[in-house]
Amino acid sequence: MDLNKLLRYPAAMVAANWAGLLGLLSLVGVIPAFAGNARVMADLDEHADTSGRVVLTQLRRTLRRDLPVSLGWWVFVLVGVATGWLMVTAFDGGTRVFFAGLLVPTYWVVGALFGAYVRAAGTTDLDAHRSEVLAEATRLVLTSPLRALATVLVVIVTTPVWVLAPITIACGLSVPAWLIAKVWGPATTAAQRRARADADRDLDSWDLSTA
């Protein structure tokens, strides 16, 4: 058995994770960090030998573009923590159940929207404008709403991976990103869809069948 091949993917996941943690610790680079891991995991075989560099490149080239979304992510997290604390300390009984039933679906949907943006940022061109990434994220939500919602479930299920410090340092970002990539399936970018449409039109132009 070739030990290098055996360790290739785990090493790639660790390298991508460490690079992503740099963005996460910077606070302002959280979305590029997530998107860089998403880019690696969307095609792990292609990026396995350069996974850390791929994530760092994503951070460097999309930090400014994704800054508003990164700030929005932290607002979302802080509001979620604050409302969770309020539900535990300020409400009880039926009131707590009511607000939980109201807020959980709302946060789930918002989390799915952030997840779709991360997927779009990780599968579109690094030089794409924010509006193009938003358009791709919107397409993902509209065409695959169940997959978008399922990504939140993946994050919840993998909580021990990104909460427990030793595991987080090793693969706290990359393992959830890998599972989420499996949920989304193979990446199909806007450029790929345009190329496919052009190819289909070209084939149609050679259709010599008679009516």
Nearest-angstrom CA–CA distance, 23 and 36:
10
The answer to whether residue 211 is domain-embedded is no
Handedness of CA 193, 199, 203, 205 (dihedral sign): positive
Q: For every one of its 211 residues, what pLDDT tens digit does the chain have, with 9 covering 90 and above? A: 466 667 888 999 999 999 999 999 999 999 999 999 999 999 998 999 999 999 999 999 999 999 999 999 999 999 999 988 888 787 777 787 887 888 899 999 999 999 999 999 999 999 999 999 999 999 999 999 999 999 999 999 999 998 888 889 989 999 999 999 999 988 765 545 544 454 445 445 554 454 4
Instruction: Give me the number of domains the chain comprises.
Output: 1
The answer to whether residue 210 is domain-embedded is no
The answer to whether residue 154 is domain-embedded is yes
Token pair of 15 as six digits: 């390298």
The answer to whether residue 75 is domain-embedded is yes
Long-range pairs of 105-111 with CB within 8 A, sequence gap ≥ 24: 107/76, 107/80, 108/149, 108/152, 109/149, 110/76, 111/76, 111/151, 111/152, 111/155
Find out whether 45 and 80 touch, Cβ atoms under 8 Å.
no
- One-letter amino acid for residue 115 of the chain: G
* Containing structural domain, residue 9: 3-205
The answer to whether residue 178 is domain-embedded is yes
The answer to whether residue 124 is domain-embedded is yes
The answer to whether residue 45 is domain-embedded is yes
Nearest-angstrom CA–CA distance, 71 and 138:
19
The predicted structure's pLDDT at residue 205 = 52
- One-letter amino acid for residue 120 of the chain: A
The answer to whether residue 34 is domain-embedded is yes
